[in-house]
Amino acid sequence: MRIGFLGLGAIGTPMARHLAKRDSLTVWNRTTERAADFARLHRARAAGTPREAAAGAEVIITCLPTSREVETLLDGPDGLEAGLQPGALLIDCTSGDPGTSRRIAQRLRGRVSFADAPVSGGVSGAEAGTLTVMVGCDAEIFERARPVLSAFGKRIEHLGPVGAGHAMKAINNALLAVNLIAVGEGLAALVKAGVSAGTAVEVLNGSSGRSFVTEGLVPERVLSGRWPQTFRLALLDKDVGIARAFAKETQVEAPLLDLAGRILAEARAELGEAADHAEIIRLIERRAGVEIRG
Ligand code: NDP
């Protein structure tokens, strides 16, 4: 299949690598050297413009920070929309927002099909090809998208119409954010009181407080003091913002999500755009005057 892939960031790159192994792939990236490097290392062609990446492709995949960048990418004579061939399928793997995706689907209606298909599982899941993919589109479009998404996805779920994938993803990441903050606060208090961080995490993981954060993120990043950069805190902040807007839209009071959003926005301002999401715990440590290691 001829596929165009736009957005070779931390997660987009390993996703595109899987497609390069089995499809005829053209890649585009804003920083053009990244696309050129990718094409040199993998079986793929680098396009000079979004239009060129879409030209002749049956399926086009975008993976950018927010829906805003995806919508903007469509514009202009060298934009994505100018290159989309009639009958093509645009799959947006960005963790975007439902409203913008509905607007994009409407804009392309009758010419090009659209699905929102954000992913979960992190960079390691993308490398292993085991991502969970949350899809929003019509049923027949889902059947076209599924075999493409299977290149990097293991669990591929149809959640509902356009926007449903984004809503699901935003709620998932909002839960990650709430847990990350709460685990950081709890561990900081325990360590300050003299409990060993390693023992505290082992106890949590054998008890009802265990989670993805205590079983994976904390041992790998916090206890080890490694702090790898895989998923930017700025992107998690964006996801919580989408979840808050979704709760508002559905008229659900969500004070906990509101608070998580405020804490993340503050952390983003303090740590900057490049900081990894787990570094929120570093900030909690700094404020508490303690290190959670072990
Ligand atoms: P990165 O910040 O690593 O990469 C962002 C990509 O978008 C880069 O290719 C960047 O290009 C491009 N980009 C940024 N701004 C623009 C713009 N204005 N116009 C065109 N291209 C632009 O992000 P990730 O790869 O980590 O994330 C991508 C999406 O996937 C996000 O929505 C994120 O929330 C989601 N996600 C990320 C996960 C992760 O573990 N990293 C996990 C699950 C979902 P350039 O190279 O020029 O900077």
Residues with catalytic roles: 169
Q: Is the CB of 95 under 6 A from ligand 1?
A: yes
With a CB cutoff of 8 Å and minimum separation 6, the contacts of 99 are 163, 245
Query: Residue 61 and residue 64: Cα distance in Å, rounded?
Result: 10
**For residues 123 and 14, what is the distance between their CA atoms, to the nearest angstrom?**
7
Query: Over 99-131, what HEC string results?
Result: HHHHHHHHHHCCCCEEEECCEECHHHHHHHCCE
Q: What is the pLDDT of residue 31?
A: 98
Query: Using CA atoms, how far apart are residues 264 and 270, in angstroms rounded to an integer?
Result: 10
pLDDT reported for residue 64: 98
Q: Is 79 in the pocket of ligand 1 (CB under 6 A)?
A: no
- Which secondary-structure segment (H or E) carries 201? helix 197-205
- How far apart, in whole angstroms, are the C-alpha atoms of residue 22 and residue 59? 14
pTM of the model: 0.98
Distance 31 CA to ligand 1 centre (A): 12
Count Cβ atoms below 10 Å from residue 59 Cβ, excluding itself. Answer: 23
What residues pair up with 90 in beta bridges, in sequence order?
Answer: 60, 114
Of 185, 169, 176, residue with least CA distance to 212: 176
Helix (H, G, I), strand (E, B) or coil at 6: strand
Q: Give the span between the Cα atoms of 207 and 15, in whole angstroms.
A: 35
Give the C-alpha separation, 6 to 19, whole Å: 12
Q: Tens digit of pLDDT per residue, the chain (294 long)?
A: 999 999 999 999 999 999 999 999 999 999 999 999 999 999 999 999 999 999 999 999 999 999 999 999 999 999 999 999 999 999 999 999 999 999 999 999 999 999 999 999 999 999 999 999 999 999 999 999 999 999 999 999 999 999 999 999 999 999 999 999 999 999 999 999 999 999 999 999 999 999 999 999 999 999 999 999 999 999 999 999 999 999 999 999 999 999 999 999 999 999 999 999 999 999 999 999 999 999
Q: Which residues contact 8 (CB under 8 A, 6 or more apart)?
A: 16, 27, 29, 34, 35, 38
Nearest to 234 by CA among 280, 266, 274: 274
What token pair was written down for 6?
């736009």
pLDDT at 191: 98
Q: Is the CB of 13 under 6 A from ligand 1?
A: no
Query: Which of 5, 27, 38, 63 gets mutated to test ligand 1 (max ligand atoms within 8 A of its CB)?
Result: 63
Q: Virtual CA dihedral for 231, 233, 239, 243, nearest 10 degrees?
A: 130
pLDDT at 7: 98
Say if ligand 1 is within 6 A of residue 63 CB: yes
Q: How far apart are CA 58 and CA 274, in angstroms?
A: 34
7 C-alpha to center of ligand 1: Å? 6
What spacing in Å lies between the alpha carbon of 294 and ligand 1's midpoint? 32
